[in-house]
């Protein structure tokens, strides 16, 4: 009993550090309203789509949502999002009310569970040094973003499941205990249920690494059985969810490259950005891992080297991989630092390497005046957007045409169906919205409304609408686009009637013919 007390105290300190790190933005997420209620401001539009799904399964338990009718109206979409995250939020909503608060808290709780798993996993394997791994996992800007408050995105669940799967694989290699194989197989199967993209790539990389470092011993009986479990869970989930074609149709493929340019996570990450997620030890890590393997012949030193090289290359391709790069770097740290042997040298190099991480946290906690003003405007915009959605909720149902980045919030908060959306499946609707706002011909604009069966139009800042619409469509902006007239409320087309306005947004009703 006395030995467990320091361990539990250490876990409690780590948990407190992590929860403080993932809730650094709490003032921007939980915003008090004048009526005493709380406005929950989510990180992005995808979070609102997820919460709309979670609300649907809360109201109808057992539902598997295979299509969305609230985006790309009237055709709708077949999304790639799946049930596990929906039901996790719904289950947490039984304990935490309202459901929006449960959505805000789900990712921090998943991150906390992952950190505690790593704490006890590394203790069970007697990994040394283990504390640098745990500390960096708790404070890495990439991981604290993936698990951030107000971000009910399935990335957090994927990072949890893939981290558990990889760590359990390492434990099986070291101990040969079948329980670790079953844990890894289960985690991989669940991860593939959530998404076939990142988990499939990481699983393939893991198996290639196993074959290279373990050779004939790569697939013992217990591991083969675990892989069968993985395949069974993945195929069972596929049958339950229904087939989702991973290849988008032509009309989406034509728009996707320009749309991707608007999203930072689909652009490549620079080395400087990677250092803010992992620290400077990322540079000598391959040499230290190779040295560790040369000195100890520990197959895991080579396995984590291969995983780290692959995930770093993927992050250089698309920044969306940053959370996995940080997680795998954390898992690799005990093997990276082991050759240094001396505790004072380990801690000196580790702490010195965290300078870019500290710089990133300084920018988060003490933002520049322009960034602070942007954060304040974002909170105000969210409040005014909710006000706009409340108005739409009182109106008869009909299609709503609005800029794609505010469409999911309007859909969730108003119950109306939107032409645009933030998913790539809703790109046809987003493109039609962009064409409407850029139009300088009222007849063409009216045809666009009829094509999409639109009843209401919502405007946003014309500068932002013009820039993003022109980039999405790959066309120059006209001299007098319709969005400018709508945002000013002047020289309106005869088929639109103003029905609501606040500081940021205006709502127009399409007149009955």
DSSP label at residue 77: B
Nearest-angstrom CA–CA distance, 183 and 148: 26
Nearest-angstrom CA–CA distance, 323 and 207: 21
Do the bridges between strand 496-501 and strand 38-40 make them parallel or antiparallel, or are there none, so unpaired? Answer: unpaired
The pLDDT of residue 246 is 67
What backbone phi and psi angles, to 5 degrees, belong to 453?
A: 55, 50
Do the bridges between strand 496-501 and strand 506-510 make them parallel or antiparallel, or are there none, so unpaired? Answer: antiparallel
Nearest-angstrom CA–CA distance, 56 and 399: 20
pLDDT at 3 over 70: no
What pLDDT digit, counting tens, does each position of 468-487 carry? 999 999 999 998 999 999 99
What backbone phi and psi angles, to 5 degrees, belong to 128?
A: -140, 130
H-type alpha helices, 318-440: 322-337, 343-353, 355-365, 369-393, 407-414, 427-438
Contacts of 465 (CB under 8 A, 6+ apart): 403, 437, 459, 483, 487
The pLDDT of residue 96 is 95
Nearest-angstrom CA–CA distance, 398 and 392: 10
Do the bridges between strand 417-418 and strand 399-401 make them parallel or antiparallel, or are there none, so unpaired? Answer: parallel
Nearest-angstrom CA–CA distance, 359 and 348: 18
Q: Where exactly are the structural domains of the chain?
A: 4-41+80-365, 369-510
Instruction: Please report which helix (H) or strand (E) contains residue 401, including its range.
Output: strand 399-401
Nearest-angstrom CA–CA distance, 209 and 212: 5
The pLDDT of residue 362 is 96
Which among 63, 427, 447, 49 has a CA at the least distance from the CA of 257?
427
Nearest-angstrom CA–CA distance, 464 and 413: 22
What pLDDT digit, counting tens, does each position of 365-408 carry? 999 999 999 999 999 999 999 999 999 999 999 999 999 999 99
Identify any residues that bridge with 39 across adjacent strands, giving them in sequence order.
Answer: 31
Token pair 């407190």 in the structure block, residue = 16
For 233, the token pair is 């869970």
Q: Is residue 269 classed as helix, strand or coil in its secondary structure?
A: coil
What pLDDT digit, counting tens, does each position of 309-348 carry? 999 999 999 999 999 999 999 999 999 999 998 999 999 9
What pLDDT digit, counting tens, does each position of 109-120 carry? 999 999 999 999
User: What's the CATH number for 369-510?
Assistant: 3.40.50.12610
What pLDDT digit, counting tens, does each position of 398-417 carry? 999 999 999 999 999 999 99
Mean pLDDT of 248-266: 83
This model's pTM is above 0.75? yes
The pLDDT of residue 5 is 76
In this structure, which long-range contacts are made by residues 491-500, counting pairs with CB atoms below 8 Å and at least 24 apart in sequence?
493/442, 493/445, 493/446, 494/442, 495/442, 495/446, 495/449, 496/457, 499/391, 499/395, 499/456, 500/388, 500/391
What pLDDT digit, counting tens, does each position of 51-99 carry? 999 999 999 999 999 999 999 999 999 999 999 999 999 999 999 999 9
The pLDDT of residue 442 is 93
Nearest-angstrom CA–CA distance, 4 and 12: 12
Look over the chain and give the mean of its residue pLDDT values, rounded to a whole number. 94
Nearest-angstrom CA–CA distance, 438 and 402: 12
The pLDDT of residue 242 is 87
Mean pLDDT of 280-306: 96
What is the share, in percent, of the chain residues with pLDDT greater than 70?
A: 99
Nearest-angstrom CA–CA distance, 380 and 386: 10
Q: How confident is the model at residue 243 (pLDDT cuts 50, 70, 90)?
A: confident
DSSP label at residue 42: -
Q: How confident is the model at residue 513 (pLDDT cuts 50, 70, 90)?
A: low
Which among 75, 82, 52 has a CA at the least distance from the CA of 243?
82
Label residues 139-152 b or e (16+ Cβ within 10 Å = b).
bbbbbbbbbbbbbb
The pLDDT of residue 250 is 77
């Amino acid at each position: 009993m006395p030995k467990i007390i320091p361990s539990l105290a250490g876990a409690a300190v780590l948990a407190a550090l992590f929860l403080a790190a993932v809730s650094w933005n709490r003032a921007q997420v939980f915003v008090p309203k004048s009526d005493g209620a709380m406005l929950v401001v989510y990180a992005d539009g995808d979070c609102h789509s997820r919460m709309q799904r979670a609300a649907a399964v809360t109201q109808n338990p057992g539902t598997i949502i295979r299509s969305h009718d609230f985006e790309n109206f009237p055709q709708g979409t077949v999304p790639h999002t799946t049930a596990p995250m929906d039901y996790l939020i719904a289950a947490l909503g039984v304990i935490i009310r309202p459901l929006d608060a449960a959505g805000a808290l789900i990712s921090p709780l998943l991150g906390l569970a992952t950190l505690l798993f790593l704490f006890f996993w590394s203790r069970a394997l007697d990994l040394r040094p283990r504390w640098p791994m745990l500390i960096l996992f708790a404070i890495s800007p990439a991981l604290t973003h993936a698990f951030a408050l107000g971000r009910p995105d399935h990335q957090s669940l994927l990072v949890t499941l893939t981290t558990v799967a990889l760590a359990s694989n390492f434990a099986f290699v070291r101990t040969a205990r079948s329980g670790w194989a079953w844990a890894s197989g289960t985690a991989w199967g669940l991860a593939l249920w959530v998404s076939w993209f990142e988990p499939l790539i990481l699983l393939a990389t893991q198996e290639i690494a196993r074959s290279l470092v373990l050779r004939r011993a790569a697939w013992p009986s217990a591991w083969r059985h675990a892989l069968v479990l993985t395949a069974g869970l993945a195929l069972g989930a596929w049958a339950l969810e229904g087939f989702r074609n991973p290849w988008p149709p032509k009309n989406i493929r034509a728009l996707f490259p320009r749309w991707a340019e608007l999203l930072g996570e689909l652009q490549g990450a620079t080395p400087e950005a990677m250092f803010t997620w992992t620290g400077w030890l990322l540079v000598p890590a391959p040499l230290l891992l190779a040295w560790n393997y040369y000195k100890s012949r520990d197959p895991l030193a080579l396995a984590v080297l291969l995983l780290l090289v692959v995930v770093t290359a993927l992050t250089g391709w698309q920044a969306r991989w940053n959370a996995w790069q940080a997680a795998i770097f954390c898992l690799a740290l005990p093997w990276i630092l082991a050759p240094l042997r001396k505790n004072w040298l380990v801690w000196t190099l580790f702490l010195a390497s965290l300078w870019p991480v500290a710089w990133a946290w300084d920018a988060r906690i003490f933002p520049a005046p322009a960034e602070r003003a942007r954060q304040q405007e974002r909170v105000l915009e969210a409040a005014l957007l909710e006000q706009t959605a409340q108005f739409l909720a009182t109106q008869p149902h009909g299609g709503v045409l609005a800029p794609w980045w505010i469409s999911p919030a309007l859909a969730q908060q108003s119950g109306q169906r939107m032409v645009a959306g933030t998913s790539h499946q809703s790109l046809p609707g987003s493109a039609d919205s962009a064409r409407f706002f850029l139009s300088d011909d009222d007849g063409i604009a009216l045809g666009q409304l009829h094509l999409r069966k639109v009843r209401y139009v919502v405007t946003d800042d014309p500068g932002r609408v013009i820039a993003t619409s022109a980039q999405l469509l790959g066309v120059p902006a006209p001299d007098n686009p319709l969005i400018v007239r709508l945002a000013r409320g002047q020289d309106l087309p005869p088929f639109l009637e103003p029905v609501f306005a606040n500081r940021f947004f205006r709502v127009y009703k399409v007149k009955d013919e």
